[in-house]
Structure 1
């Protein structure tokens, strides 16, 4: 048994393999193996790996028909002989030369099933750049050797900046799901729900070549990948939802979904929102008029499906989305019906509101520039209780 098995899925990576293998050879850890799984490459990746294996005796080569990086990693795990498993993509690098050694030693000392390091971005010129995910507090920065609770990790991103005990993965049969995109967070979400603690080590382990990867929009380029990318959110939410431990991370993760759907490249992507409906709105396959209405509907669906997206921590965002969607015209009755049902089923009795669809559709689009007494008459009417969205507009107008 070796100390660490590094799993590398390879698909058409011949241009990067020499750099990544040379980089790995500089690690100070004295006992590791690199499990390369060629995933049906159509270039000369396999031939390049064979050449490199003559130069570096730590390389072991396996091949499979093209099935995606997730299945390639699963195959690599099954062949691994290491106490711990690390992951490295062909176009990425490890940064600190002693990172694997320090992380392995910490794992042994603290008897840890998961050891976390840090991640930096690498541009096409090899320059190291800051990781904006630490600025946004999306996942934990490792500033010292310590134990943290799994819920302190944050969004289950950047699985490759951590190492995992192989016996732990085998014991719980944790493997990558069969998804074309988004399989990594699902893998890590399963791990976070099974471990008692994470040991953090203040080293920069992973260098992510973000320009070579191309960003999510370039990689999620057909309907199957868009569907699977939405499905990974669904699966992560389902895995981490439940006893409330991961609520903060889940809420932040849900917001990342809405940010992704609101990107300029995505707001007019009908296939993407079709995938949203297929995954989250199976009972309502009809697409709405624009991305804002889609986001309102999705927020309401999440509130129905998951405990973490409770009334208290979702109502403000739902109502803000409702207001934004109304600025483009009338809100579809299906959304208003769902919103009304959501409020009725979840709000406290003293806060109960009755939603008049005709009044909302008439009032909200006209409230932004309204300055007449007619507005005050509408807002103070006793014939119906005002909904929270309209109250928000009233407060906004008072501040202007």
Structure 2
């Protein structure tokens, strides 16, 4: 790598909450990076286990590590605290129950120096992620609008790669004024909406250097299926619809696809939810359908209307994922 590139500082932000079983592996994977010019900001978000103490032990071992202890405010608040302290030219987020390959940062830096991308994206290793719709075996350059092509199917691998915050490197300047929305679940869904309004160039690199761990104890795990805050993700879909319609291109096709997925995802929450979740779903479904049904064809409108009358029948007939 060129000397100028090696001088670039990366801020690696790791939110930490009750992950004592995973934290050492996560931090070790970062400390052992082939690219060494980084600061690691561990944000202990009010952990109730030994995670905070583990952070402090790591602080003693490596001068590149900073530790922030704060009252529990959630993932967004923890990432925001890290951003407030970040001094790097670039920023990465790594979840504390995951880990990365040793060339994670170096591969990003090479990509950034060659393409001058605002955001670089890597592929990930995950046991629960679907195979790609097309082979992901080459570097891909996206404009902000082209990124939308990977946001049209939320059960596809490409969607996950585009929407999550933790498989990416960002130019630090993107976050000069931008922060994660506090109190939101699925905060990454909101963040990608904001980022795609700001960026000019996004680069995907087909290297699986981020290892995602399926932690069912996390807030998005199956153990928390009936948390009403899961519906925040649907609010992000609605935000995406509005943004597409406000665009200069007035992208009704993308808005219509996003609407259909919002309604299908709501139906899935209904199918798997308890009575409280089902009541919340019905209210949100009715509101979204009534506001945006004009985006649908007559045939589609009749199809999605079925849920408002007999949700159980709709789920049985149309929710196949």
TM range (shorter): 0.7 to 0.9
Alignment correspondent of 2:205: 201
Alignment correspondent of 1:13: 19
Counterpart Cα distance in 2 of 1:148 and 1:185: 18
- Picking from 295, 299, 303, the partner of 1:310 is 295
- Picking from 302, 312, 319, the partner of 1:319 is 302
Counterpart Cα distance in 2 of 1:183 and 1:142: 26
Alignment correspondent of 2:239: 235
Alignment correspondent of 1:185: 189
- Relative contact order higher in (CA < 8 Å, ≥ 6 apart): 2
Q: TM-score, normalised by structure 1?
A: 0.64
Alignment correspondent of 1:381: none
3-state DSSP of counterpart to 1:63: strand
Shift of 1:113: 1.2
Question: Closer, same or farther in 2 for the Cα pair 1:8/1:327, shift >3 Å?
Answer: closer
3-state DSSP of counterpart to 2:180: coil
Question: Closer, same or farther in 2 for the Cα pair 1:76/1:146, shift >3 Å?
Answer: same
Rg (Cα) greater in structure: 1
Shift of 1:176: 0.5
After superposition, residues 39-50 of structure 1 pair within 5 angstroms as: 39-50=45-56
Count of residue pairs the alignment pairs up:
294
- Picking from 139, 145, 150, the partner of 2:139 is 145
Counterpart Cα distance in 2 of 1:69 and 1:34: 17
Question: Closer, same or farther in 2 for the Cα pair 1:116/1:249, shift >3 Å?
Answer: farther
Per-residue displacement from partner, 1:149-177 (whole Å, max 9, x unpaired)? 2233222522211111011221xx22101
**RMSD value over aligned CA atoms?**
3.2
Counterpart Cα distance in 2 of 1:87 and 1:5: 9
Question: Closer, same or farther in 2 for the Cα pair 1:260/1:19, shift >3 Å?
Answer: same
Per-residue displacement from partner, 1:201-247 (whole Å, max 9, x unpaired)? 22123221124456554335444x24534433333433444224765
After superposition, residues 317-396 of structure 1 pair within 5 angstroms as: 317-323=300-306
Question: Closer, same or farther in 2 for the Cα pair 1:29/1:248, shift >3 Å?
Answer: farther
* Contact 1:260-1:266 within 8 A present in 2 as well: no
3-state DSSP of counterpart to 2:268: coil
Counterpart Cα distance in 2 of 1:218 and 1:241: 36
3-state DSSP of counterpart to 1:134: coil
- Picking from 115, 118, 132, the partner of 1:113 is 118
Question: Closer, same or farther in 2 for the Cα pair 1:269/1:247, shift >3 Å?
Answer: farther
Per-residue displacement from partner, 1:111-148 (whole Å, max 9, x unpaired)? 22111111221xxxxxxx3731734x8xxx75323421
Q: Which runs of 5+ in 1 are unaligned?
A: 122-128, 281-294, 330-400
- Picking from 132, 135, 142, the partner of 1:134 is 132
Alignment correspondent of 2:104: 99
Shift of 1:298: 5.1
